[in-house]
Structure 1
Amino acid sequence: MISHTITVLRRVTSLTANRHYVKSVSWQTSITCLFTGLLLSGCTLWQIQQAGPDLQALHAQAQQGDGDSQFRLGLRFYHGLEVPQNYPTAYDYFRQAAEQGHQQAQYLLGAAFYEGKGVPKQLEEACHWLEPLAKQGNLQAQYIVGMIFLEAKTPSQLADPAWGAYWLSKAALAGHSAAQYQLGILHLEGKGVPKHLGDAYHWLMMAHQQNHPEAKQALTTLQKQLKTTPQEHRYQHALKNKAHKDFAAIQFVQYRLQQLGYPLKHIDGIWGKQTQHAIAKYNKQNQLSLPQEISPRLLQALRDDQQSILQPTPQEK
């Protein structure tokens, strides 16, 4: 019991020192968190002791630092299996596992902070856990990260609709129906992507074909505005004629460069001379040496450019 209490004390202290908490946690809140942690630790130990030898063995392995055991123990409290449901305790174990690189724990922890499920909603903390998973190809993480950058308000560093649309595009291209629906809505509004009814139709139809519950109504409304057939839309043309594995990244680069004032006639996800010339001009004016190709360095440079947040495109005004 004493050793577990010391562990809780150290964890609460580290939380208050964490960069996500320093600005918002007062001294009084820290004290409250401390005593809450102590109370939860006592309750948790008692609940585990009452549950039986299997759970006690799992707890012992978790205390020895086994990430999978920490995650599995967190799941017991998350779902209320053998013990009463307890989100704070579940997230405590998830965090221990997540800090050791356990991807399922990272996802559940990030999703909880995004949804505000059992914890205060914190987009920064959610992004901290989910964006690395998105970069590894987790479709649901890509979708949530995209929504985070769309929902965040200025002057937060997370308020970047173009970067949100980038992550939604990656998930949508891989078949994520909710991302397809949201991307269709973004094209209707011209938020983070060019306003274009054809692209909106494409993504909404893709979502509808996967039985997304809201896509049918959006399509019904959109079809009244369309003057061309879906086969004539430029998005379909791009995919069929000059498809590129980095379509989402190219479209983001084009959109961001246009935000920064570099002339591009088309934001179409097609890798061509106009995009290469714009990148070269961006390099020259900013004294950079970014390669003439889609690369993590290029994406990060454009992502970090603060002008993109301060100077929205005419479509976004």
Structure 2
Amino acid sequence: MTAWLLMAPLAGAFATGLDPVISRAEQGDASVQHELCYQFLYGEGGRQKNFELAFRWCSAAAAAGQSSSQTLLAEMYYLGLHVEKNEGMAKEYYLVAAEQGHPHAQLMLGRLALHNSDVVDPYQFCYWTRAAAARNYGKAIEQLQSVEDQWRKQQKPGAAGYCDSVMAKQSHTQASQPAPTDAGEVSRTSCPLEVDRNGCGRRPNNSFKPKPLRGSA
């Protein structure tokens, strides 16, 4: 009995401050911070779901430049996990991760372009979803195929595909505008990734509104 009482405080200390993984994360190891971010968010690695701790470690790893943690942090803002739902913050973190080439962040930027109740943005949808598909991301490939199938059902045989049409119109729009006098005048969101430099800027005038896949975010 006495031995158990003496060991109990040690067991509690090990479960908290002496956890070697958490100790490494607290020392600034970004890869371990991301590991904890994922584990606490989804209840993996023998840890229970804890959105507060997930937010803490996702934030730390995201600040260190971990694109996967930036994507998970965006998800927390998008779904309102531990924080209030904030689509603006979600988009910011998705964008930072997408610019680093994270395919799920790219996919989500494309999906959010479809879900915007004020302005559906075909160019952003095609740009980012194609970027993710170019990385062989299955969900992006499936999403593009779904939209193209919807589009072709409404077009005459031989018509250009949906995203090809969107990109062509965007290129025409950009070509008709005067070039900036300084490279600094081009916003970071106009050409955010070296995937498809067919044009950047505002969406073309297009009444077709593609439907996202069932169950997509």
When normalised by structure 2's length, the TM-score is: 0.64
Per the alignment, residue 282 of structure 1 pairs with: 177
Q: Which has the higher helix share?
A: 1
Per the alignment, residue 27 of structure 2 pairs with: 64
CA-based RMSD of the aligned residues comes to: 3.9
Structure 1 window deviating more from structure 2 (123-132 vs 113-122): it is 113-122
1:51 to 12, 15, 19: 15
The answer to whether structure 1 residue 141 and structure 2 residue 34 are counterparts is: no
Cα separation, 1, equivalents of 2:112 and 2:155: 30
Query: Match of 1:169, SS?
Result: helix
> What are the superposed Cα offsets for residues 78-127 of structure 1, whole Å, 9 maximum, x if unpaired?
32655532112111111011111122221221233334455444322222
Aligned length: 188
- Higher RCO (C-alpha under 8 Å, 6+ residues apart): 2
Deviation at 1:234, TM superposition (A): 4.6
Q: Does the 8 Å contact 2:74/2:94 carry over to 1? A: yes
Q: Does the 8 Å contact 2:67/2:100 carry over to 1? A: no
> What are the superposed Cα offsets for residues 33-67 of structure 1, whole Å, 9 maximum, x if unpaired?
xxxxxxxxxxxxxx973527761x33333333332
The answer to whether structure 1 residue 166 and structure 2 residue 59 are counterparts is: no
- After superposition, the Cα gap between the structure-2 partners of 1:254 and 1:64, relative to the gap in structure 1 and judged at 3 Å, is same
Structure number with greater Rg is 1
Q: Which runs of 5+ in 1 are unaligned?
A: 1-46, 190-194, 198-221, 236-247, 258-274
When normalised by structure 1's length, the TM-score is: 0.47
Query: Match of 2:180, SS?
Result: coil
Per the alignment, residue 215 of structure 2 pairs with: none
- After superposition, the Cα gap between the structure-2 partners of 1:76 and 1:279, relative to the gap in structure 1 and judged at 3 Å, is closer
Query: Match of 1:282, SS?
Result: coil
Q: Does the 8 Å contact 2:40/2:49 carry over to 1? A: yes
The answer to whether structure 1 residue 177 and structure 2 residue 153 are counterparts is: no
Deviation at 1:233, TM superposition (A): 6.3
Identity among equivalent positions (%) equals 21
Q: Does the 8 Å contact 2:67/2:102 carry over to 1? A: no
> What are the superposed Cα offsets for residues 146-194 of structure 1, whole Å, 9 maximum, x if unpaired?
1112112227xxx5232122111222344333323322443455xxxxx
